[in-house]
Amino acid sequence: MNYYLRRLAVAIATVLISSSLVFFAIRILPGDPVMMLLGESAATPEVIARMAERLGMDAPLHVQYFRWLTDLLQLDFGTSIGTGLPVANELIKRLPRSLELMAGGILVSLSIGIPLGVVAARRPDSFIGNAASVLALIGLSAPTFVKGLILIIIFSITLGLLPSSGFTPFTQDPVANLRNLILPSLTLGLGFAGVVQRITRASLAETLGKDYVRTVRAKGVSENASVYRHALPNAMIPVIAVVGIRIGSMLGGMVVIENLFNWPGLSSYLIEACYARDYPAIQACLVVIFFVFSLVSLSMDVLMGIINPRRRDV
Amino acid sequence: MSDSSLTFTRQSDWRVWFAIPVLAVAGLFALLGEWIAPYSVTGYDYTAILSSPTAAHWFGTDELGRDILSRLIIASRTSVAVALGATLFAAITGSLIGLLVSYIGGRLEAAVSSAADIFIALPDIFFAILVMSLVAPNPTILTITIGIIYMPQFTKIVSAMVQSARHADYVTAARSMGASGTRIIFSDILPNILPIIVVKFTLTISSALLLEASLSFLGLGAPPPNTSWGQMVGSLKPYIYNNPWPIVFPSLMIFFVIMAVNVLGDWFQDYVNPEVRR
Amino acid sequence: MTTASAKPSASAPLLSVRDLSVQFARKDGGLAPAVRSLSFDLRRGEVLALVGESGCGKSATALALIGLLARNARVGGSVEFDGRNLLSLPEREWETIRGRRIAMIFQDPMTALDPLYRIGEQIAEALRRHLDLSSVALRTRVNELLTLVGIDDPELRVRQFPHQLSGGLRQRVVIAIALACNPEVVIADEPTTALDVTIQAQIVKLLADLNRKVGMGMIFISHDLGVVSQIADKIAVMYAGQVVESGPCAELLRDPRHPYTKALLASVPNPAMAPKQFLNAILGTVPDMARLEAGCTFRNRCPQAQEGCHAEPGLTGISPSRFARCWFAETGSYEGMERQAIRPFS
């Protein structure tokens, strides 16, 4: 119990600190937000003052911070400069889409990474074992947008099989929604699949050498059954741990992917807000992203904690 | 007994043969830039827009008729310089801060360590996006931003190493011989930390290259007239349906260079690990 | 050869090993030998002990007999069981024999059980694999087995995970798994080495009782002559991948003929020794099997080594049931010694 409470506290602290960092960065860094929004030409003192007031940047720094913090705790994410509407509206609309993309990415990386890892661990010196590892390395090293572009070129342009952009809400048309999801998830998942493959291979190879696997074989159980019923479940534990730790890199990859495939999620909202210098939106978006990240990490930790006590002896 | 460090195993053979030429080419491009590029940066050729590879333009042309190969060569300077500069910045300042903080120890060290943890845990791209959208972008700012993002990792490594080295026997021995603090740091601790830092260095270059490319792709990197590989990919992206060929080359360039750095880093890791050497 | 309690002995041996050799292919293409030329018979109900230090090939022998050697192992010779040579069996057929007719008890109970499955389930796995039992019969059999190996309160233990049991209990579970399908041969590979001394005694007694009660043939592998003496009917002493001496337990221990056996016996700490007296360690180290020289393998450490030992001795028959691989096994001098053909003791 204590462990979980501590982790929760750390997670909350992380979100708060990083969000505050963002807050101060916006206001402290060179490049006056007000001026950037207005541009040089329209900058008469009155216009500047009014804009500053609109942004809430006319008050002293600590007052601004306090206001922002209290607003945040009441789930008020501010008003977008561009649209004049509450930022929260957009956030609510877009968050599920990013989560959907992430789910797709995780699914892809596990369904590709784990089998490739199993193959590489069971037949380490064979052609297929080495091929699996090399594939993983390529998936790991290739930059996200390179992978995305290659997939687009192959599947959209050359073969014309899958769409390269666009989005239909799931509630409206599930099939279309999933069709649009395929290429972005593949792109997101391939990189992570490389990570999963490597850790699966290492973990399974080690587990296959364990004594209890030998005991199982001595019972007359076939090699396949011993791998899938005994070795693999034990080997998966470190895999889950690593997935939990590295999930952050997947979030980072989403930024490029949402842009590349015009997937209207949180990250693309962030980028749009950056182009438009929509500071409240930028701020709120980052807070939510950090929050989602911490939540996922925390869940992974909890998951590990549940599975872990059994392994204390091995 | 033969010196096994000079005998590459079959696996490491391909790693070195692949990585070094790729990196050499990238380095050459970065250094020589305009001098070896067949066309100038602004050589617009409106008769050949978005063309596939031809004899005149080996890698094709972009949306403004510029030769892709030339732009690729010239863009190398920005990409390489930013990645290298950022990593050097991160390594040097990170290590120095790490040394300083762990030498002082106590609460300061704990605080810095926790702060570093938060930084390391969160994905790097978000801070970069934030900063680059706030300030007037230029290559120097980009370099320093990326450098700051990777700085905490070096701080943590150095800090941890100093901590463990502090209590190590060879430090006690040096102290008992009357060596001063700074002398201990530089002649005893540092040589032991160096291999780990070098490995981290290569990993960071790889991350920095990727980050710069992604930022430039999104339009948040160094603005024109500076070109970087990522920026080329970003500006060609709207035209892939017209002709996918031009975008392939800068993409592959980024891919190969990053892979080369990763592979070299892998090789170096195996090289310094006495158990893997045969 | 007879021991105090009459052992059932059919005329044909249960397991017949002839010239078993095991080598491991190295990454650089060479071969590392582990077992050079091993021959013995095992009769129904008999306990044969294979004794030797680490590196003499005992474990490789055990794994060869159950078909679980690593992929880079190269086996030679023959292992006759039920009219077939086990070494030439395809894997599919091995899977019908392993656990069903030949079973194995492993060395380290702390790591021999899958941490993710309950005890009952792990025993049941062996039963389900080979026998067609209803779930009720399955449960009964599992409880039976737990009681057989001396575990109290089987209802409770069945539902527990390995980490909830002590080392001794876990080893009993391993034994229960081995005995689940009533195998004809049980190979025990150093079953007590990883246990505390007091638990060791319990387990050895348990195995001896089980052998008497159930009547399976047992190959008991150990480096500990003391442990072995409590359970073995026959002993075969191994050195550098070969048998160097063999014979009935009591006789061999009373009257060892090979210098190595003598040295092993002499090195056992004896409470009757005077205080502060040095233990009798065997000088030298076990030879590197990859670089064996010609002649008797024990030559470099043998107090009796003489010129004639440059020639490799065969197994000399001292009596129909006693063999030793030494020029001095029978008489005490080199002259008049004829090389005997290698004959399996039985």
Write down the pLDDT at residue C170: 94
Phi, psi of C202 (to 5 degrees): -60, -45
| Three-state DSSP class for residue C76 | strand
Q: Running DSSP on this structure, what letter comes out for residue A86?
A: B
Check C129 against A219: CB less than 8 A apart.
Answer: yes
Chain C interface mutation, best of A215, A222, A310, highest count of C Cβ atoms under 10 Å: A215
Write down the pLDDT at residue A161: 79
Distance from CA of B185 to the nearest CA of A (A): 33
Q: Dig out the tokens for C68 from the structure.
A: 């679980």
Chain B interface mutation, best of A57, A81, A141, highest count of B Cβ atoms under 10 Å: A141
The dihedral of CA B258, B259, B264, B265: what is its sign?
positive
Q: Dig out the tokens for B275 from the structure.
A: 């158990």
Domain-located, residue A28: no
Write down the pLDDT at residue A312: 40
Check A219 against C174: CB less than 8 A apart.
Answer: no
Q: How confident is the model at residue A35 (pLDDT cuts 50, 70, 90)?
A: low
Of A9-18, A182-191, C132-141, the poorest mean pLDDT is in: A9-18
CATH code for position B212 = 1.10.3720.10
Write down the pLDDT at residue B180: 66
Give yes or no for a contact between A235 and A207, defined as CB atoms under 8 angstroms apart: yes
Write down the pLDDT at residue A230: 93
Chain C CB contacts of A218 under 8 Å are 66, 68, 98-99, 103-104, 106, 178
Distance from CA of A14 to the nearest CA of B (A): 6
Check A249 against B133: CB less than 8 A apart.
Answer: no
Chain B CB contacts of A146 under 8 Å are 233, 251-252, 254-255
Domain-located, residue A96: yes
Check B255 against A141: CB less than 8 A apart.
Answer: yes
Q: Which of residues 118-177 of B touch A (CB under 8 A)?
A: 118, 121-126, 129-136
Write down the pLDDT at residue C345: 35
Partners for B (CB, 8 Å, 3+ pairs)?
A
A125 touches chain C (CB under 8 A): no
Show me where the domains of chain C are located.
15-254
Q: Which residues is C20 bridged to in the sheet? A: C38
Nearest-Cα residue of chain A relative to residue C96:
A220
pLDDT over 70 at B3, yes or no: no
Nearest-Cα residue of chain A relative to residue B137:
A31
Nearest-Cα residue of chain A relative to residue B213:
A143
Write down the pLDDT at residue B181: 63
3-state secondary structure chain B: CCCHHHCCCHHHHHHHHHHHHHHHHHHHHHHHHHHCCCCCCCCCCCCCCCCCCCCCCCCCECCCCCEHHHHHHHHHHHHHHHHHHHHHHHHHHHHHHHHHHHHHCHHHHHHHHHHHHHHHHCCHHHHHHHHHHHCCCCHHHHHHHHHHHHHHHHHHHHHHHHHHHHCCHHHHHHHHCCCCHHHHHHHHHHHHHHHHHHHHHHHHHHHHHHHHHHHHHCCCCCCCCCCCHHHHHHHHHHHCCCCCHHHHHHHHHHHHHHHHHHHHHHHHHHHHCCCCCC
Check C114 against A313: CB less than 8 A apart.
Answer: no
Q: How far apart are CA C238 and CA A83, in angstroms?
A: 87
Q: How confident is the model at residue B6 (pLDDT cuts 50, 70, 90)?
A: very low
Check A140 against B262: CB less than 8 A apart.
Answer: yes
pLDDT over 80 at B87, yes or no: yes
Check C106 against A221: CB less than 8 A apart.
Answer: no
Q: How far apart are CA C145 and CA C154, in angstroms?
A: 9
- pLDDT tens digits for B148-194? 999 999 998 888 887 777 677 666 777 777 766 666 666 766 677 77
Of A77-86, A102-111, B59-68, C334-343, the poorest mean pLDDT is in: C334-343
Of A63-67, B98-102, C273-277, C316-320, the poorest mean pLDDT is in: C273-277
CATH code for position A164 = 1.10.3720.10
Check B258 against A141: CB less than 8 A apart.
Answer: yes
Nearest-Cα residue of chain A relative to residue B125:
A252
Of residues A167 and C146, more confidence is placed in C146
Domain count, chain A: 1
Phi, psi of B64 (to 5 degrees): -110, 15
Domain count, chain B: 1
Write down the pLDDT at residue C33: 87
Range of the domain at A104: 87-313
Domain-located, residue A199: yes
Domain-located, residue B11: no
pLDDT over 90 at B265, yes or no: no
Give yes or no for a contact between A181 and A102, defined as CB atoms under 8 angstroms apart: no
Domain-located, residue A190: yes
Write down the pLDDT at residue A32: 65
Q: How far apart are CA B240 and CA B262, in angstroms?
A: 28
A134 touches chain B (CB under 8 A): no
pLDDT over 50 at A211, yes or no: yes
Domain-located, residue A154: yes
Domain-located, residue A309: yes
Domain-located, residue B43: no
Check A212 against C95: CB less than 8 A apart.
Answer: no
Q: Running DSSP on this structure, what letter comes out for residue C312?
A: P
3-state secondary structure C8-67: CCCCCCCEEEEEEEEEEECCCCCEEEEEEEEEEEECCCCEEEEECCCCCCHHHHHHHHHC
* Per-10-residue mean pLDDT, chain C, length 346: 45 87 85 87 92 83 91 90 90 92 92 92 93 91 92 91 92 94 93 88 91 91 89 91 89 85 78 70 74 77 75 78 79 38 32
Write down the pLDDT at residue C309: 78
Check A141 against B134: CB less than 8 A apart.
Answer: no
Q: How far apart are CA B186 and CA B12, in angstroms?
A: 32
10 Å CB burial of residue C230 (0-12, 13-18, 19+) is middle
- pLDDT tens digits for A192-208? 888 899 889 889 988 99
Q: Which of A18, A143, A275 sits opposite B213 (nearest CB)?
A: A143
ipTM value: 0.82
Chain B CB contacts of A25 under 8 Å are 130-131, 134
Q: Which of A194, A203, A210 is nearest to A246 (CA)?
A: A194
Which homologous superfamily does the CATH classification assign to the domain defined by C15-254? P-loop containing nucleotide triphosphate hydrolases (3.40.50.300)
Q: How confident is the model at residue B274 (pLDDT cuts 50, 70, 90)?
A: low
Domain-located, residue A216: yes
Write down the pLDDT at residue C145: 93
Strands C185-189 and C84-85: unpaired
Write down the pLDDT at residue A79: 76
Write down the pLDDT at residue B9: 47
pLDDT over 70 at B43, yes or no: no
Contacts of A142 (CB under 8 A, 6+ apart): A150, A190, A191, B255, B258, B259
Range of the domain at B136: 20-38+60-272
- pLDDT tens digits for A249-294? 788 889 999 999 989 999 999 988 888 878 888 888 888 888 888 8
Q: How many CA atoms lie within 13 A of B217 on its CB side?
A: 28
Domain-located, residue A284: yes
Check B123 against A277: CB less than 8 A apart.
Answer: no
B233 touches chain A (CB under 8 A): yes
